[in-house]
Every structure is written in structure tokens, then in C-alpha cells.
Structure 1
């Protein structure tokens, strides 16, 4: 392989290590943070099961955001849904799922499953352009809503522009300048540990830009506001049951 291909291989492994170690360190620091007081945002459920359901509702449906601002919820939910679909569609290559041409081949699963899965899979194809549209909506909110603009930092705009670059380059590759799909598949699959490395598709600069932006996102993810993806599960205002009357909570220093 040439030095440029080795650069992109190294970039992928560095980004993966930074993402995994940074995310793991933040999760560990949250787990070690004491929560001696019961401080759920009321009205709140009074049981652990209810608190878990509340966290699930926030993580899956953004219920608080829906009650607070419908337009922000719409663009935010559209963006997260598009990301989830994109991750699902992208994961099939490094996981080694057989592909046919530029898309998945479900015929090996049998006619019945193929007829069931294929329409659903094809429907996700149409969600791609919605991702940059959602990011543009969130950028417009930060730029034009005075209260939001006042509390926004340069890093907030940079993250959205990074996401816009990823989504925009992905849509261009899908609809305008399609790369060499086989070369991309071999390169990405070769990044799996235990598999021989494959040269980067240097003839597809748009893919290399897209790939570099994704690796950049992975490296900044653990150190940015994007980490709310994991932090929502550790928020005491959401994950605690409102049961101070039923259960006595004694702080460690008070019990000595």
C-alpha cells in the first residue's frame, strides 16, 4: 500500500481509539460521581421502573424537547433518526454482510425474508437527504433565534457544520458522484482487526473527504456536547424516582 493509504488506515485506528477511550473515561467518571440527593424534575415517577421508562422516553422520543419547542424537536428528531438509519446502513459493510452491487443482497435469506426486508431497506434509502436538511434547520435556529444565539459558542456551530459536511458529502456520493463501491467496501472491511488492509480508494476524493470528516467527528465526540448521547442515561433529574417519602436516603458522611 502507498503512504496515503496507510495514513487513512492510521486515521481510522486513532479515531476509534480516541472515541472508545474518551467515551469509556467519561462513562466511568459519571459512574463514580455520587448522587446523594433525590433531585428528579417533577412531576416524576415514584418507582425505579417508572424512572427507567422516563429515561427511555427521553432517549427514544425526546419528550421534554417536544413539550418545550416543537420546531427544535422536529429538526432534532429528524437528524437523530437519519443518523440511526445511516449507521444501520453503513454497519453492514464492516460487519461483513454480503452485498450485491451497491446495496445489500437479501436473496440468501430466502424468498420470504427477502420480500419482507427489501421494501423496508429500500425505504431507508430515501431518508439520506433529510439529514443535511435537519442540520440546516438546527443551524438556522442557532443563528436566528436570539435566545439560542446568545448561549451558542463557536464549537456549537463547528459541530453542526461538521455534521453538515458529513451528510452533504454522503448525499452527493449517493446521488451525484458515486464512488467505486467495491473499492470502498474492500477498504472499510479491511479495517476490521484480523483482516488484511486494503488500499484507500484514492480515485474517489469525495469519499476520502467524507471518511476524514467522520473520523474527525469520532475524535471530538467524547469531548463535546455530542456526548449527551450517553449522558442522558446518567442524568439524576431523569433517572431518579421521586420517592424521598418512601425511601430514606442517607449520605455516606451522615451515616458515620
Structure 2
């Protein structure tokens, strides 16, 4: 939806720009399983996987644990001329643990809080995001009237939980066996980069969940080289595989994500 909205803006004859684009685990399967040979319709935001030049800053939070093949992520090609324009970062959880939709939403709230901070850091005084305290949310719901009549404070409040439920799937996609770990990667020209320095970036909460949740061992990390984006904005040195993640120690100067 965010991509569609931005595509409408970028089609504007006034040639306006988009200051910030934040998207959550954009995938190819928008309306169920696509038939073999059916091409996913493109848009001007991601034309052939490349972000439109009029988008000044983009953040894409991607699911580390989604394993449904039709939900392959639509990654953004690396901007070789301006690498800092795009941040593509992997978070723990399946598709809706990133973009939201579950009642037990501790993981998606983790992603949402990160996106809010990225938005504030990019736009500064141009945007004001009010704290989501109980009184403020109640007031918001009252102001919206019937538009949000079915929602309560519990539906809106943000409560990130690193140890929150990681959901599993059932139904057609699992019955037909269309499951395998995602290929965690950086894309260049719509293909995994061959440059050994183009390492995918995982957020620090992956390590924190790894340490705190017994049995959390993402299959997608097996044999993978990657870096962690720490809470202070710095990147870790290269980490290799699950064993490397186990041995890695988060610097004491970096505060753990809020529980």
C-alpha cells in the first residue's frame, strides 16, 4: 500500500520528491499464489528492483524467518552511488510479525518502533509523532469516531517484545510444501551481489532474541556472513553463521532494545 501511494505521488506532473519511504517486508505475493510465468506488475517506486531517484530516503524492514516461497521479498537494489539512501535491514519474525496483523504483536511492534525512529531521524522537525500513552490513544479513538469504532487502546498501543511470539503457518501454502528458508542477501541489478563486501544487515534484536529465546536458531543464517546494525547506529564487524552469532558480544555501550 505504501509503495502504491508513493507511486501515485511520483507520477505527479509536478515532479515532487518523497522525503521518506518506509516499508515492511514487501513481497511478490500480493493476492495469493501467482501462476507460473505470470509477471508481477511493476510500479515507479521499485522499477526493476531499483528505487526511484526521487525517493530521498528509504527503509525496508525484511522478515528473517518467513519461509513461504510465494512470499519471496521484493528487495531494493543497492544504490552504488549513494549507499546511505537505502537501509534494508532484517528483523526476527515471519511476514506479519514484521508488518503487523497478529493479536500477539510484540515482534511487529519492535519493527514499528524502529521505523518510527528512522522516520523521525530523517524528517526531524518536519514530523511530530506523539507518544502513544493510554490517554492519548483514547483521545485519538474518540476523535476518529466510527472510523475506528472496532479498535481499543490495546490494538493501538506499541509494546515491543524481543521475546514475543514468532508465528507459524498452516493452510494451503504449507500443505503443498512450498517452504524453504529465505536467501538473506543484498541485491544488485535484481540479483544477489557477488561483492563479498555487500553483506546483509540484521538488526541487533536478532542477537538479543537469539540469546534470550531457547531454540531460536534461524535456518536462514546457516553459513551466512552478515553484520548487525546496533542500537547506537553502528555496524558490527562481519559475523559468520549461527556459531558466529552465538559468539558475538554486544558492546556494553550499546543499550539493549527496550523490552
Calculate the TM-score normalised by the size of structure 1: 0.26
Calculate the TM-score normalised by the size of structure 2: 0.26
* Higher share of residues assigned strand: 2
Q: Which has the higher contact order (CA 8 A, sep 6+)?
A: 1
